[in-house]
Chain A
Amino acid sequence: MKKFLTNKSTFSNYMTYAGVVIAFIILTIMGEAGGLSSTMKGQLVPVCAYVVMALSLNLTVGVMGELSLGHAGFMSVGAFSGAVVASALQQAIPSDGIRLVIAMVVGAILAGLVGIVIGVPVLRLRGDYLAIVTLAFGEIIKSIVTNLYIGIDAKGLHFSFLNPLEGLEAGGRMIMNGPMGIPGNTKISTFTAGFILIIITLMIIFNLVNSRSGRAIMALRDNRIAAESVGINATKYKMMGFVTSAALAGAAGTLFGMSQNAIIASKFDFNTSILVLVFVVLGGLGRMWGSIIAAAALTILPELLREFSEYRMLIYAIVLILVMLITNNPGLKNLFGKLIPRRKGAAENE
């Protein structure tokens, strides 16, 4: 027990779980009691999705030390595949919960497969190739989704690429309609589902980071030559980290997609990738609780700033800069160190 409390990373991990659980309980109670505004209620699920996105990107950027500039592409794969699956299974599986889980699993698997396709050639290389390739990947996914038409009728699913579908039977309907994306989405994501996904994501990431493989991944980040000299297979471990990250982003995408009435491909563009990267950088590389707080705060912030009408994005930018200044302020770091003596002690023990 003493070891558990003095081990800095274990302590921090358990505090992260505890924080998420407490936030969930408080928000659920407030929601039930009517203490949440419509704006906040509407944001609960998207915030969960962005938190999972930030966590998954933190695995790539913070833990692996590789840069991914197309993480929204994986989100897009998850969002659209999940929404199509959920839509197609509407009659077969009436339960929203089960359908959401199936959609998420499909979304995660497909995003993971795309991650493998990208990772196999790129992660063999040294240098910033992953950043370049993921940047292009995000744009490619956007183009593909914009030109994809999927319809459903009594005979099953129909696919068409580039040209709109023709000859759908009466009683059928279009699910995905090219540039219109999925205009008739049914919301089935819930805050509870989002919470569970965050907890699962945290478990996967913490267990991976604290495992033998995780140490290998971090060793590769810190010094690739030294790590390879002790026999660590660089490509294998990097693939492990990257594909996990892609699959989690896919699940986050499904969660997000199923919380929206209408989704279009251009929603998941370069800006969204950078937004998630901002969450990770502001929250701290490799610091999972930082990503959670940054993602939640920075998603809600623009809505809180609506009072300032046109100036809100200006103020948003100022807040970003201030957060950067404050989190790197040595004086404040000391202050927090004094406020939380155990953490400081733990740090000294190391």
Chain B
Amino acid sequence: MKKFAKVIALLTVLMLALTCFVGCGKEEATALKIGITGPLTGGAAIYGNAVKNAAEIAVEEVNALGKIQFELKVEDDAHDAEKAVNAYNTLKDWDMQIFMGSVTSTPGTATSKEANNDGIFYLTPSASSTDVLGGVANAITGTVDIARKDNVFQMCFMDPNQGAASANYISSQKLGTKIAVIYKNDDNYSTGIYNSFKAEADKLKLDIVSTTTFTEDTKTDFSVQVADAKAKGADLVFLPMYYESAALILKEAKDTNFAPKFFGVDGMDGILSLEGFDKSLAEDVMLLTPFNADAEDATTKAFVAKYKEKFGEIPNQFAADAYDCVYAIFAALKEGDALKNEDGSYNYGVSAEDLCKMLVEAFTAEDFTYTGLTGENMTWGKDGAVTKTPKGMVIKNGVYVGM
């Protein structure tokens, strides 16, 4: 036993020593290096893995075109800002040239600052907080808390845009007169949308009768929140949260015979593919989302089919955003022509800083538009936010129908 332990210990030490030396040799670059950090383990792992899978598909497709080649590396950040910066540094040691950001908002806030300091181009698929971009006025105080990080861009909607858009939509379509809101008050995403929804609703004189909250530790029971909304006579419940919690709220409402209209945001997307979820509960739920896995256009169909075949799941909007990110970068590089040498080969050795300047210019150019899975003719401003139209969807008989 003692000997066994010693042998194992020796092996471990050797293994660790080896890992320190792996990857020291530098070869001639044959592809542009794109890095991503995302939660591949832990509670938020479904988002990280969705982004990883979709980005892999997109990179494979781009490489198959035989034009510029991409190389992808995804590092785990376990949805933690400290680990995300470590993961980012690991990618930097790998000589990453383009950073496709962190998948979630809090890690994204930390890594975007690092990427801004280092001058590495940053396009995140799904870190939707305004803190990631910087330079956006706080919805409540009106102050700019973080300076704009000028090389950071988002593929998804910024949180406040979603909140304000939802309030506008509810008001203009006269969907409800007494509104209840349930949001997750220890979550960046949920609180960000709620704050801007509240600010916009006050302006539009929408009547918010009930506001209740939950946290990571209390996200399994919603009886109090639903009872409060019911007691105050709400006829529309706004749910700015991810679909797992929303599913439980719908269940609780059904059990207590409370049948208002439910209105969600892009985090609600995915509820129909949630395992064990009774789709009839989501009947007539409305949501604003940029992506619809049941859409009939060729790009979406091809992507969904490929994703299903490879990973056995229906892709969610995180996956769609990641897929779009790769193609948007491809488009911004003019399908590689922007990096072409005179002899027809590609300049893969380009420094991250030069590439960053080139891409920022391309993305903010007046005439640059990109059409992908999550929107048509998307454009980016100097503020880093994407402009695309959210699609108002309503669930009928277990599928999304445009409103």
Contacts and interface: CB of A to CB of B under 8 A. Distances in A.
A260 interface: yes
Interface stretch (A117-125, A177-185, A210-218): A177-185
Contacts of B145: 173-175, 177, 183-184
Interface in A256-281: 260-267
A175 B145 CA distance: 7
Contacts of A178: 185, 191
Contact of A303 (B22, B90, B114): B90
B16 A39 contact: no
The range of chain B's interface size is: 35 or more
Interface in B50-97: 75-76, 80-83, 85-87, 89-90, 92-93
A166 B141 CA distance: 5
Contacts of A223: none
Contact of A146 (B80, B85, B185): B185
Contacts of B89: 37-39, 41-42
B138 A174 contact: yes
A319 B188 contact: no
B185 A264 contact: no
A180 B186 CA distance: 8
Contacts of B142: 168, 170
A301 B86 CA distance: 12
A115 to B, nearest CB: 24
A140 to B, nearest CB: 12
A261 B109 contact: yes
Contacts of A331: 2
A331 B4 CA distance: 13
B369 interface: no
B144 A305 contact: no
Contact of A267 (B19, B82, B216): B82
B106 A262 contact: yes
Interface stretch (B5-13, B303-311, B315-323): B5-13
B19 A304 contact: yes
B269 to A, nearest CB: 22
Interface of B: 2, 5-6, 8-9, 12, 16, 19-20, 22, 40-41, 75-76, 80-83, 85-87, 89-90, 92-93, 106, 109-111, 113-114, 129, 131, 134, 138, 140-147, 185-188, 191-192, 195, 215-217
9 contacts: A43-B86, A164-B141, A165-B140, A173-B144, A173-B145, A180-B188, A183-B106, A261-B113, A303-B86
